[in-house]
Amino acid sequence: MKIELDGLTALVTGSTQGIGYAIARGLAAAGARVIVNGRSTETTGAARARLLDDLAGDADFAALDDDAREARVVALAADLATEAGARTALFQHPDVDVLVNNLGIFGSADALAIDDDEWRRYFETNVLSAVRLTRAYLPGMMRRGWGRVQYIASDSAIVTPVEMIHYGVSKTALLGVSRGFAKAAAGSGVTVNSVIAGPTHTGGVEDFVRELVGDDLPWDEAQHEFILKHRPQSLIQRLIEPDEIANMVVYLSSRYASATTGGALRVDGGYVDAILP
C-alpha cells in the first residue's frame, strides 16, 4: 500500500516534538503540505527546519524544486489552547483538508489535590482546543465533500490512571467529541476518528517515567520497571515509538480509510484489556 497525500493540507496541533512531530513528518513524507504548530516562533521554526531536513533524504521530496520543498512545511506559532490562538490559525490557514488534534498536556497528581483551575486547564487544552478547531474547519470540509478530522486520545481514556485522573477524563471526553462530530459530518465525505495511543516513548513520558521510578536506573531498565509496575497490561511490553502512532494517523488521513469514521482506533500495544473499541 502506497499512501499518497499530494495536494492535501494538514494541520497538526502541538507538533514541535513527540507524537505530534512524528505525525507531521509522516504526513509530509506521504506528500501532504503540513502546518506544524507550537506556541512560539522559535519552537515552530526549529521544528519546521528539522522536518525539512528529515525529508531531504526522500527521493520524491528531493525531486521537487526549491520553492515546492520550502512550501511543503509551514510553521504556525499560536497557542491553540486559547480562543485567540484558534482565531490566528483560521486567519492564517482558512482551509485544511486534514486536522489532527494532537495538542495535550499530562502529568501526575494526587486525585484529591487537583483543584478547579487545574481541571479547567486540562479541559481547555485537551478538549476545548480540539472542539474549537473542529468547529472552525469541519464546515469547510463538508462543503468540499472531503476531509479528515482526528483526535489523539489515549489508553487513559478507557483505563483511567489513578495518578492522573484529570488527564484520563479529558481523553475520555475526546472519544465522545469524536463520535459526536462524526455524526454531525454523516454523509458528507468527511471522516472523524480518534486514535487511542498507548504508553509512548516521548521526552515528556521519559520525565513522567522518571517521576515514578526514579533517576538512578539506566533508561532501558527504567522503562522496563515502569511498564512492569505501572502498565503491566501492555502486550508488547515496551513503550510505543511515536512513528507507530503516526502510521495510523497517516492511514486514516488517506483515501484508503474512506469507510472508517466515528471510530476509536487503538495503537496501544494491546494495553487496553478489551476487544472494543
| Rounded to 5°, angle at Cα 151 from 93 and 110 | 120
**Do 221 and 88 share a structural domain?**
no
Using 50, 70 and 90 to split pLDDT, how confident is the model at 73? Answer: very high
**Do 94 and 146 share a structural domain?**
yes
Mean pLDDT value across the chain:
95
- Report pLDDT digits (tens) over 141-167: 999 999 999 999 999 999 999 989 999
pLDDT at 204: 81
β 190-197/264-267 pair status: parallel
Q: CA distances (Å), 177 to each of 120, 164, 182, 241, 249, in order?
A: 17, 20, 9, 26, 17
Instruction: Write out the catalytic residue numbers.
Output: 167
**Do 95 and 137 share a structural domain?**
yes
**Do 35 and 64 share a structural domain?**
yes
**Do 119 and 211 share a structural domain?**
no
DSSP H/E element including 222: helix 219-230
Burial 193-212, CB ≥16 within 10 A → b, else e: bbbbbbbbbbeebeebbeee
CA 258 to chain centre: 20
- Is residue 39, in this structure, part of any structural domain at all? yes
**Do 207 and 103 share a structural domain?**
no
64 in Cβ contact with 72 (< 8 Å): yes
- Is residue 275, in this structure, part of any structural domain at all? no
Using 50, 70 and 90 to split pLDDT, how confident is the model at 277? Answer: low
Q: Which domain holds residue 222?
A: 201-239
Q: Is 119 exposed, middle or buried (0-12, 13-18, 19+ CB in 10 A)?
A: middle
- Is residue 4, in this structure, part of any structural domain at all? no
- Report pLDDT digits (tens) over 127-146: 999 999 999 999 999 999 99
**Do 136 and 215 share a structural domain?**
no
- Report pLDDT digits (tens) over 217-260: 999 899 989 999 988 999 998 999 999 999 999 999 999 999 99
CA 119 to chain centre: 21
**What is the distance between the alpha carbons of residues 131 and 113, in angstroms, rounded to a whole number?**
27
- Report pLDDT digits (tens) over 9-49: 999 999 999 999 999 999 999 999 999 999 999 999 999 99
Assign residue 145 a region: left if phi > 0, alpha if psi is -120 to 50, beta otherwise?
Answer: left
Using 50, 70 and 90 to split pLDDT, how confident is the model at 103? Answer: very high
**Do 225 and 256 share a structural domain?**
no
- Is residue 154, in this structure, part of any structural domain at all? yes
- The CATH number covering residue 57 comes to 3.40.50.720
pLDDT at 60: 87
**Do 261 and 219 share a structural domain?**
no
Going by C-alpha positions, the residue among 151, 149, 157, 150 that lies closest to residue 106 is 157
Q: How many domains does the chain have?
A: 2
% residues pLDDT > 70 (the chain): 100
Using 50, 70 and 90 to split pLDDT, how confident is the model at 191? Answer: very high
- Is residue 2, in this structure, part of any structural domain at all? no
For 70-78, what is the mean pLDDT?
Answer: 96
**Do 207 and 109 share a structural domain?**
no
**Do 152 and 223 share a structural domain?**
no
pLDDT at 1: 79
